[in-house]
Amino acid sequence: MTYWRVRALLAGAFTVGLLTWGAIGLRWPDPTIRWILVGLAAFWYLVVGAVIRPPIRYRLFWYSLSDREIDLQHGWLVQTRTLVPMNRVQHLKSEQGLLARRFRLSDLHIHTAAGSVLVQALDEDEAADVRARIGLLAHLADDT
């Protein structure tokens, strides 16, 4: 949750800063439109991104593994529940950015032939464990 907040704040500070700079420096769109844009960006990143979104996202997210499938739910405005049969898993990838490393978090991509599912911001050790378990289970049921 804190990770999401910090991330939104950082991205927001960058975007809002850029827009403010543009609003001061540029001549073209009407000043009101310029400042409305700045306000919208600030609202999106600093209020929605940092305050409203993380708790909802945190509350909605869950996942479960069984030997047959991966079942998970994520999202905040649009809530999505995904079911991946275990023998459809093609490969797994985990990713960790700089900020995520600071928080000891890691993203896990589960790839199937049709597309991938992203499990965001798992605990580092948990991600490694999940990855190992899915790898093992998916390998057992090996057919395409």
Partner 1 sequence: MVATPAAAPAESRTISERRLHPAYLLISFGRNLRSLIPLIAVGIWQAPGWSIGALAGVVVLLSVANWWVKKYSVRDGSLRVRSGLFRRTQDIIGINRITALDAERGVVQRICGVWGLKIQTPGNNHRASVHLACLSASALEELRVALAQPGPMSSADGPIPSGLPLPSAEADAGTESLPAGTTLRKSANAPVPETLAVLGTRTLLIAAFTGTSIPLMLAGAAATIGRARDLLPEQLFRRITREVFTGGPTTALLLLAAVAVAVFAGIGLTSLRLARFTLVREGERLRISRGLIAQRSGTIPVDRVQAVRVVEGWWRRLLGYCALEVEVAGLSSSNDTERMLFPLIRVDQAAELVGRALPELGWRPAPIHRVPVRARRRYFTLPVLLALPPTLGLAFLPGWGAYLAYLPIPLALLVGWGQAADAGWLLEPDTVTLRWRRVLARHTVIARRERVQLTEITRTPLQRRAGLGGVRLLLSSRRKARVRHLEFDDAVLVQHRVGRRSTGFIPSSTMRDLDLADRARDVASGTYREA
Q: In the structure encoding, which two tokens stand for residue 16, read together?
A: 């809002």
Is residue 113 part of the contact set for partner 1 (CB under 8 A)? yes
Q: In the structure encoding, which two tokens stand for residue 67, read together?
A: 């030997």
Is residue 55 part of the contact set for partner 1 (CB under 8 A)? no
Residue with Cβ nearer partner 1 (90 or 95): 90
Residue with Cβ nearer partner 1 (13 or 79): 79
- Identify whether the C-beta of residue 26 lies closer than 8 Å to the C-beta of residue 37: no
Is residue 79 part of the contact set for partner 1 (CB under 8 A)? yes
For the stretch 135-140, contacts whose Cβ atoms lie closer than 8 Å and that sit 24 or more positions apart, written own/partner, are 135/92, 137/65, 137/67, 137/86, 138/86, 138/87, 138/89, 140/67
Is residue 62 part of the contact set for partner 1 (CB under 8 A)? yes
Is residue 35 part of the contact set for partner 1 (CB under 8 A)? no
Residue with Cβ nearer partner 1 (73 or 94): 73
Is residue 139 part of the contact set for partner 1 (CB under 8 A)? no
